[in-house]
Chains A and B, each alone.
Chain A
Amino acid sequence: MVAPGSRVLDIGCGDGALLAYLASEKNVDGRGMELSQAGVNACVRSGLSVIQGDADNDLPTYPAGAFDYAILSQTLQATRQPRQVLESLTRIARRAIVSVPNFGYWRVRLGLLATGRMPNSSLLAHSWYDTPNIHLCTIRDFLGLARDLGLVVEQAQMLDRDGQPWRFRADSGAANWLAEQGVFLLRQAD
């Protein structure tokens, strides 16, 4: 989804693996943001430009259109204000790439139905009392928020349990049942 030579902000960049890949393979001018000191240190150590910060507090400090792409991978559900974060992402970058775990995934639904306990899957591998994931949503919920914010979904890719792409349309009922996560390419309407 990322064009070569573009300016990219990776929010929640971890140890910088994606940024390093984009820099070396796609000649991207990459910046990162990461909450953990260990992650930031690993990034800066490997020569990446990364700041210690979080999406809720630090995204608003960037100007509009500062980047070509802002990437938020599996992090939106852990922010305090997902709506504002999504707005910020599409303001500071011409396009936002956002991936979210699907709480409507059949295993999640079945897990809750069958065991009566909070779902615990590979993407949501925390107990209810220590999870950073405080704003979970389904694919349908996410598309609803994007619509409310007037965002254009340019691409949507549903992924199965092994991270392999499904052919379902994002707005189909099947996707909301069968995709474990969705990856979206979003932009503000013209």
Chain B
Amino acid sequence: MSLSEPIRRANEAAAGQILVVDAPLTLESGAVLASYRVAYQTYGQLNAAKSNAILVCHALTGDQFVADTHPITGKPGWWTTLIGPGLLIDTERYFVICSNVLGGCLGTTGPKEINPATGQPWGLDFPVITIGDMVAAQVKLIDHLGIEQLFCAIGGSMGGMQVLKWATEHPDRVFAAVPIATASRHSAQNIAFHEVGRQAIMADPDWSGGNYFLEDKRPERGLAVARMAAHITYLSEVALHRKFGRNLQDRKAISYGFEADFQVESYLRHQGASFVERFDANSYLYITRATDYFDLAAEHGGRLAEAFRGTPVRYCVISFTSDWLYPTSESRVIVHALNAVAGNVSFVEIETDAGHDAFLLEEPEFFATLKGFIEGCARHRGLI
């Protein structure tokens, strides 16, 4: 029994509700998962008509603990400003569901879990998964909950990709879709940054070809570097400068060495160090790969509009001015494709200097837009 086993068991205990699907899932790669588990959290009550369900799709390093305390970090959930009793997504009115994605590391089947065929953690034997596979696993969860049609699917970044996949693959099962700070495909720049992160992990000797659990190791340095590099892409240059400038960390002068002289260095090191406590390195490889492979147009003969043809879904696309990871131009591509099929779409670009991470923050204009859209849809759906 490896040292990491207790950690894994603790994670499992912390994972919340678990759906075990004892039926094979054929992945987009052609590989088959004989069975799998989906860990999820729910908030509020499903109404009698089962018409008030909102699926929240989490981003790359997010998880199902969207609106309550995180079991590992003890910190508030990542959208507690948005979701809860009396809040914008009011859990006294809506039934909110959030599940850990396939390939994730907080209870849903992923590379950290045990491969039933070998009795060992999957490691790199885990099949490569896609955004479509993540959604396919979520579909089983929504089926299990007896929900015919989601009132709304909402998510930012990679969560927005899942929203797009849901709404285009299952247009009759999604009344309203809110893809935020996202894209219909990964750009070369997106892929490039992910590749830096993956190479950092794989360059760490403790990664051990992906079998670190078997050797009681964890590639913490590599994963931390991956997080540090990625974290820069979540912030804008302006915000980074405003927050840190060239301020020095706990010292009055530069040290002529390689300590964290600057506050921004100290901040990034902290981001890296805290991330490795809650995230699995192999999961990071698999999930970044899934987003790199995402290309909604390619799945529809190269024309994105074809993905939306005849769609009854009401879309609200939101982007942020200072987001250079998923810039507004990417959202406009989605909006124009929806226009091309005369889809029902609203689109707002929110003015902020918070960068990509703005979707996780309480930006007043963002919240006001979201509130208006959800209330408008709720009226059309007869929920208010």
Q: Which A residues form the contact surface with B (CB < 8 A)?
A: 7, 31, 37, 40-41, 43-53, 58, 61-63, 66-67
Q: 19 A-B contacts, Cβ less than 8 Å apart?
A: A7-B342, A37-B349, A37-B351, A41-B368, A41-B369, A43-B346, A44-B346, A44-B369, A44-B373, A47-B377, A50-B346, A51-B345, A51-B346, A52-B347, A53-B332, A53-B335, A53-B347, A58-B339, A63-B341
CA distance A131 to B248 in the complex (A): 48
Contacts of B335 in A (CB 8 A): 51, 53, 61
CA distance A45 to B370 in the complex (A): 7
> Is B205 part of the contact surface with A, judged by Cβ < 8 Å?
no
B340 touches A62 (CB 8 A): yes
Contacts of B237 in A (CB 8 A): none
CA distance A58 to B332 in the complex (A): 9
CA distance A52 to B320 in the complex (A): 12
> Is B247 part of the contact surface with A, judged by Cβ < 8 Å?
no
CA distance A53 to B336 in the complex (A): 10
Contacts of B345 in A (CB 8 A): 49, 51
Q: Which single residue of chain B is at the shortest CB-CB distance from A42?
A: B372
B339 touches A46 (CB 8 A): no
* Given A37-B351, A44-B372, A58-B336, A49 and B365 contact (CB-CB distance below 8 Å): no
Q: Which of B342, B344, B365 gathers most chain A CB within 10 Å?
A: B342
Q: How far is the CB of B172 from chain A (nearest CB, A)?
A: 19
Q: Which B residues form the contact surface with A (CB < 8 A)?
A: 314, 316-317, 332, 335-336, 339-342, 344-351, 365, 368-369, 371-373, 375-377, 379-380
Q: Which single residue of chain A is at the shortest CB-CB distance from B364?
A: A41
B347 touches A41 (CB 8 A): no
Which residue of B342, B379, B380 contacts A66 across the interface (Cβ within 8 Å)? B342
CA distance A48 to B373 in the complex (A): 8
* Given A37-B365, A49-B314, A44 and B348 contact (CB-CB distance below 8 Å): yes
Which residue of B341, B344, B371, B379 contacts A31 across the interface (Cβ within 8 Å)? B344
* Given A44-B372, A61-B339, A62-B339, A49 and B344 contact (CB-CB distance below 8 Å): yes
Which residue of A40, A46, A47, A63 contacts B340 across the interface (Cβ within 8 Å)? A63
Which residue of B316, B340, B342, B351 contacts A44 across the interface (Cβ within 8 Å)? B316
15 further contact pairs, Cβ within 8 A, besides A37-B349, A40-B346, A50-B347: A37-B350, A37-B365, A40-B347, A40-B348, A41-B365, A41-B372, A44-B316, A44-B369, A46-B376, A51-B335, A52-B348, A53-B335, A61-B339, A62-B340, A63-B340
